[in-house]
Chains A and B, each alone.
Chain A
Amino acid sequence: MITFNINDTEVQAEPGWTVLETARQYEIEIPTLCYHEAVSSSGACRLCMVELKDGSWSKLVASCIYPVAEGINVYTETERVKNVRRWVFEMLLAQCPASGEIKQLAAKHGVESTRFSIKDPDEECMVCGLCTRACEEIVGLSAISMVDRGVHKKIGAPFSRPTEVCVACGCCVTICPTGAMRSRIDAVRGIPKITLTPLAV
């Protein structure tokens, strides 16, 4: 049994739990986007950042991957945390303006507008990689993956053509936190054949 504090309230956890899991067990809310219970967490979106304090020393960590430790003091709503959150949301709003899901979450945390210019008004994807993790860990395939790097990073099938590997199970669509996979899956599984078939419906 490990005992530590979240927002000055004492919580208990088992070794191997993450800070986020413990927080959720105690129904303390921490926003997440690239996190899903079904797959391993990657700590990419940085929305789940929390502040660890120890006297004057303090640092920010991603709660979805930070393992619990005896006696740490975790704070989920400090200024530094909020600062990161606010900027991440603003950047997301500018990056994925088409995603209603992100708009909702941002609004929920008091970010309604962004000061950045919008590059592609139809963009939804935030390249969190949930879909690729789902494909690999849940389906046991690897039909899609991260392509390219840095600002150009995107999700896709090799050589951006439909791939034989994909079984069109739709896990990527279901797990996608921004709804971006909806418009992408046909590029992966191939447009479904709708030739007129004898079956009378």
Chain B
Amino acid sequence: MSDQADIIEEIMGRYPGKPEYLIFLLQDVQADCGYISPEAMNLISEHACVPITQAYSVATFYQSFRLEPKGEHEVRVCLGTACHLKGGQRIVEELERKLNISAGDTTEDMMFTLNSVNCVGACALSPVILVDGKYETNITANKIEKILKQINNEHAGYSEGGTNV
């Protein structure tokens, strides 16, 4: 997509066109575009001089790469050991119920993406979730409710106008 294109162009400028930089490129595109579109992957693999298949298998191998656009807000639930012992799995289930998607998916309205991560190193405060990179600690059902409500309120402003997006 065109306006992504110049971002990617810029990113490709950062690294020499060698296979060893493939992961760097993918990471930067992921960071700046939120996901890796087929177009982006084509450009990258050509720049890094690897067949698109390799770029694709790398992108699918590592967890941190997404191939579909992400929702506007990302909720990541920590499932490290400490969090697991304190019921991390239940938090995931709770969120799945609330957003009615399964972990890894994005809501219809592209508002939320729910992911589970291994350990974010805040074991002392388990269970932990990250909402758009911000730590929310000692999570309970009520807290989840609050957090989601707050975000939805932010959006109340422009969900009118019969837009289908």
> Using a CB–CB distance below 8 Å, which chain A residues touch chain B?
141-149, 157-159, 165
Contact = CB atoms under 8 A, between A and B. Distances in A.
B61 A142 contact: no
Which bracket fits the contact residues of B?
10 to 19
B68 to A, nearest CB: 11
A141 B38 CA distance: 20
B67 to A, nearest CB: 8
B53 interface: yes
B54 A147 contact: no
Given A147-B60, A148-B61, A142 B51 contact: yes
Contact of B53 (A142, A148, A149): A142
A158 B61 contact: no
21 contacts: A141-B51, A142-B53, A143-B53, A144-B53, A145-B51, A145-B54, A145-B56, A146-B57, A146-B61, A147-B56, A147-B57, A148-B61, A149-B60, A149-B61, A158-B38, A158-B41, A158-B53, A158-B55, A159-B38, A159-B56, A165-B53
B52 interface: yes
Contacts of B55: 158
Contact of B57 (A141, A145, A165): A145
Contacts of B60: 147-149
Contacts of B51: 141-142, 145, 165
A159 B55 CA distance: 11
Interface of B: 38, 41, 51-57, 60-61, 67
B41 to A, nearest CB: 7
Contacts of B56: 145, 147, 158-159
Nearest to A154: B60
Q: Among the interface residues A143, A146, A158, which one has the most CB atoms of the partner chain B within 10 A?
A: A158
Given A141-B51, A143-B53, A165-B51, 5 more contacts: A146-B61, A147-B56, A147-B60, A149-B61, A159-B56
A73 B16 CA distance: 48
Contacts of A165: 51-53
A158 B56 CA distance: 6
A146 B56 CA distance: 9
User: Which 6 A-B residue pairings sit nearest by Cβ, starting from the closest?
Assistant: A145-B53, A142-B51, A158-B56, A145-B57, A142-B53, A148-B60
Contacts of A141: 51
Contacts of A159: 38, 56, 67
B38 A142 contact: no
Contacts of B38: 158-159
A95 to B, nearest CB: 20
Nearest to A164: B52
Contacts of A145: 51, 53-54, 56-57
B144 to A, nearest CB: 28
A158 B58 CA distance: 11
Nearest to A158: B56
A47 B61 CA distance: 25
A147 to B, nearest CB: 5
